[in-house]
Chains A and B, each alone.
Chain A
């Protein structure tokens, strides 16, 4: 599955499981946060990604929070 800051582009090119990431230069980062908080944000994104991987889908899906 794909974590990207621009879900619309991913959708257009045919990605099936999509989660919106933070920003283009750091899809799973949060430089303005403290390191511990940033790691937590990253961990949460990955948890959502794992959940998406385990979810059956029949069409392209952008997994919202």
Chain B
């Protein structure tokens, strides 16, 4: 029987050191299983061998995450285990955060599989779910005897590179990612079958549930427009000739900002369309049709606002992943705010 060498991380409580009074202890390691570690060994018929247990106080980990991460990675690199187990953390937020962060680092930096278990609202879930499977738990540690076997079963599948089923089937928290798989029937057949069921009021399962987007509270209005610095920007990919920073036409990996100091209007040839998702001919002919600099200058002269900001932010919003777009928007907003801008007019294609 192949032994699976495991490094196990726990907090001060599950590590049997103490309660909140011991939450400030720095990480230390021991070469034996501790507490729940023994349960993993037993439940796996001793296939899982805990070669190292790392214990760290929840507060220490929360306040010194980078340092703890570096130390833990170092220990794990030394051991080179087959598997890293963190927790289970149940609903404990600080504990879940350190478990999630450590698992993510172990997977992405060391390439070693990791498994954990948490309550779905544990902040550690959002940190790590994209990179790993996290078994779903309730909020009580009393479940431990049912959680550990689930973790072992899922970890075995990951280690043996077996196909893994859906969240409900395997008992993990939905990871929020979608993967391509092949079906027995082609798409058109599945559509016709789905319609027949829907028309006969029979139950069916949609293959693409409608997503719900995050909302952001509306910003307060610009209080005194005559005193305001206004910026213009676009996702239409209007860039200086030659696209000097190579913003991609599709699935852009970046956003940029360029100076419009002293420029009254975007001249044909000086600017071009980098965006691959719309007919570029009208905007290449007159880039102001996507980034309205000429009209903004007219309004600036008419004192509709105090001053047009001397830079414009730009990216290409063509099949850009939503998470990237959120990040670019946030960064653009932060830059503009730090430069004293009060209002932004963005255009979208």
- A interface, size bucket: 35 or more
Contact residue among A27, A59, A60 (Cβ-Cβ distance under 8 Å from B348): A27
Chain B: minimal CB distance from A3 (Å): 5
> Which chain A residues in 7-65 approach chain B with CB under 8 Å?
10, 12-14, 16-17, 21, 24-31, 38-39, 42-43, 45-47, 49-50, 53-61
Q: Are the C-beta atoms of B289 and A55 separated by less than 8 Å?
A: no
Chain A: minimal CB distance from B337 (Å): 14
Q: Are the C-beta atoms of A2 and B289 separated by less than 8 Å?
A: no
Chain B: minimal CB distance from A53 (Å): 4
Binds A, one of B16-24, B201-209, B280-288: B280-288
Q: Are the C-beta atoms of B343 and A53 separated by less than 8 Å?
A: yes
Using A47-B299, A55-B221, A56-B221 as known contacts, say yes or no to A42 and B288 having CB atoms under 8 A apart: yes
Using A25-B283, A28-B289, A60-B215 as known contacts, say yes or no to A54 and B346 having CB atoms under 8 A apart: no
List chain A residues, Cβ under 8 A from B184: none
| In the complex, B152 has a CB within 8 A of chain A | no
Q: Are the C-beta atoms of B299 and A29 separated by less than 8 Å?
A: no
Q: Are the C-beta atoms of A42 and B295 separated by less than 8 Å?
A: yes
Contact residue among A16, A31, A54 (Cβ-Cβ distance under 8 Å from B225): A54
Q: Are the C-beta atoms of A16 and B219 separated by less than 8 Å?
A: yes
Contact residue among A31, A39, A42 (Cβ-Cβ distance under 8 Å from B285): A31
Q: Size of chain B's interface in residues, with CB distance under 8 A?
A: 41
List chain B residues, Cβ under 8 A from A3: 345-348
| In the complex, B196 has a CB within 8 A of chain A | no
Using A14-B214, A26-B283, A28-B288 as known contacts, say yes or no to A46 and B346 having CB atoms under 8 A apart: no
Q: Are the C-beta atoms of B347 and A27 separated by less than 8 Å?
A: yes
CA distance A14 to B329 in the complex (A): 12
CA distance A43 to B214 in the complex (A): 32
> What 0/1 readout, one digit per residue, does chain B (232-274) give for beta carbons within 8 Å of chain A?
0000100000000000000000000000000000000000000
Using A4-B348, A27-B348, A46-B299 as known contacts, say yes or no to A56 and B220 having CB atoms under 8 A apart: yes
CA distance A30 to B282 in the complex (A): 9
Q: Are the C-beta atoms of B305 and A27 separated by less than 8 Å?
A: no
Of all chain B residues, the one with the shortest Cβ separation from A30 is B289
Of all chain A residues, the one with the shortest Cβ separation from B278 is A25
CA distance A27 to B282 in the complex (A): 11
Chain B: minimal CB distance from A50 (Å): 6
Of all chain B residues, the one with the shortest Cβ separation from A26 is B289
List chain B residues, Cβ under 8 A from A42: 288-289, 292, 294-295
Q: Are the C-beta atoms of B349 and A2 separated by less than 8 Å?
A: no
| In the complex, B230 has a CB within 8 A of chain A | yes
Using A10-B348, A31-B285 as known contacts, say yes or no to A53 and B222 having CB atoms under 8 A apart: yes
Of all chain A residues, the one with the shortest Cβ separation from B225 is A54
Q: Are the C-beta atoms of B278 and A24 separated by less than 8 Å?
A: yes
B residues sitting closer than 8 Å to A (CB atoms) are 213-223, 225, 230, 236, 278-283, 285-286, 288-290, 292, 294-296, 298-299, 304-305, 322, 343-349
Enumerate 28 A-B pairs (CB-CB under 8 Å) in ascending A order: A1-B343, A2-B347, A2-B348, A14-B213, A16-B216, A16-B217, A16-B218, A21-B348, A24-B278, A25-B278, A25-B290, A26-B282, A26-B289, A28-B292, A28-B295, A28-B347, A29-B283, A29-B286, A38-B286, A43-B295, A50-B305, A53-B230, A53-B343, A54-B223, A56-B220, A56-B221, A57-B221, A61-B218
The 5 A-B pairs of least Cβ separation, nearest first, read: A29-B289, A26-B289, A42-B295, A16-B218, A4-B348
